[in-house]
Amino acid sequence: MYEQEMKKCFRLAKKGSGKTSPNPLVGCVILDKNNREISSGYHKQYGENHAERDALLKISKEQACGGTLIVNLEPCNHFGKTPPCSGLIIEYGIKKVVISNRDPNHIAAGGLEKLQADGIEVITGVLEEEGRFLNRIFFKNIIQKQPYIVLKTASTLDGKIAASSGDSKWITSEGARRLARKFRQEYDAILTTASTVLADNPIMKHKLKVILDSKCKLNFSEKIFNTGKIILINSQGCEYKKALPKNVEIITAGSLNTRLDLKNIFSKLYSKKIMSIFIEAGSKLNGEIIKYNLADEIIQFTAPKILNDNTGLSCFNGASVNLIAEAKLFKLVELKTVLPDFYARYIKI
């Protein structure tokens, strides 16, 4: 019961993708006392009304009285950017609240107990797994205090991202590349390496870009510095020969096995309220991410091409492995065509 309404909540919630961080994605549907839909809403942007408030304020208390409110995440019970939604639900005379997931944030949680104490019937766990997947970024942030890491690759059928000469443009079609650019906007930051910047000179339009430049090889004339804020990650003792542009910030990171300590870097970025990171880089960084089990999700675009190059670059190149049993395991959660290419989305098991 209420599965269809909850699915609508998910669809509404997704409209806020890329705009609500560090808040979760939330949608809301309201039924009157005769179970007819009378309002809906969603959390549009950080700092704006939560989904419940957005939906309730579109109708009168008379319309809502005795009705049912369906929302994918437990209504908040604290004063943040907006007042607590639990209080407004009570004020509007709602008699039943249906949710998918409890809020893992102890600061905001407690809404259900407040509603129950006021005599409101509460139903939990409707499409719970789907709800958790929708807010997988939020759940990792709150529970692990780390950013959610997405690794994006684009390869041929034989897993190559470049020929032995280094040529890599273009493996996938314009349609696939356009979709990848759209995916970028759903995350707080995109991350790449100085090697990728120097090899491809990409623009990578985004409000925040992170570049790993352990040896201070960049000179700020590269296209990537033309837009957005840039965080450069380098190692101790590394210095740039030119003055930093105004849009550039430096973070010095520690080392692990002669390379930048990626986990330390992600912790430093999380402390700056960067909740999700979309990585677009080469095989070495991809390999390091996989080696240390740091990828929460992989989005892999594949073109119907076979390079057949023995020394061409592969998607991942981070370790020497002798046994198939040593392979890192992921779960396929999405598979779609972007003709002539396709992409697959995997999450860590």
Average pLDDT score over residue span 135-149: 97
- Sorting pLDDT into bands at 50, 70 and 90, what band is 109? confident
Average pLDDT score over residue span 334-347: 97
Class of residue 248 by CB neighbours under 10 A (exposed 0-12, middle 13-18, buried 19+): middle
Let me know: does 253 contact 234? Beta carbons within 8 Å. yes
Q: Which long-range contacts (CB under 8 A, 24 or more apart) does 32-39 make?
A: 32/63, 32/64, 32/66, 32/67, 33/65, 33/66, 33/67, 33/95, 35/68, 37/5, 38/63, 38/64, 38/67, 39/63, 39/64
Q: Which residue has the higher pLDDT, 151 or 168?
A: 151
| Amino acid, res. 120 | I
Does this model's pTM top 0.85? yes
Average pLDDT score over residue span 191-195: 95
Which of 22-31, 143-152, 165-174, 181-190 shows the lowest mean pLDDT across its residues? 165-174
List the strands of the sheet with 189-193, edge to edge: 248-253, 229-235, 208-212, 189-193, 276-279, 148-155, 297-302, 341-348, 330-338
Residues of the chain with CATH 3.40.430.10: 145-191+242-348
**Measured between alpha carbons, how far is 251 from 255 in angstroms, rounded to an integer?**
13
Which pLDDT score is estimated for 25? 98
Query: Mean pLDDT: which of 72-81, 276-285, 310-319 is highest?
Result: 276-285
pLDDT in tens, 225-277: 999 999 999 988 788 888 899 999 999 988 777 788 999 999 999 999 999 99
In which element (H, E) is residue 80 found? none
Q: Of 3, 5, 48, 52, which residue is the catalytic one? A: 52
Does 113 qualify as catalytic in the annotation? Answer: no
Kindly tell me if the per-residue pLDDT of 108 is higher than 90: no
* Domain 145-191+242-348 superfamily per CATH: Dihydrofolate Reductase, subunit A (3.40.430.10)
Which pLDDT score is estimated for 313? 87
**Cross-strand bridge partners of residue 249:** 231
Q: How many other C-beta atoms lie within 10 A of the C-beta of residue 205?
A: 14
Domain 3-135 belongs in CATH node 3.40.140.10: yes
> What are the b/e assignments for 226-237, b being 16+ CB within 10 Å?
eebebbbbbbee
Which pLDDT score is estimated for 239? 85
| Residue 193 DSSP class | E
**71 closest CA partner among 87, 92, 86, 93:** 86
- Sorting pLDDT into bands at 50, 70 and 90, what band is 116? very high
Q: What's phi and psi for 254, nearest 5 deg?
A: -80, 175
Kindly tell me if the per-residue pLDDT of 186 is higher than 90: yes
Average pLDDT score over residue span 271-285: 95
Which pLDDT score is estimated for 61? 96
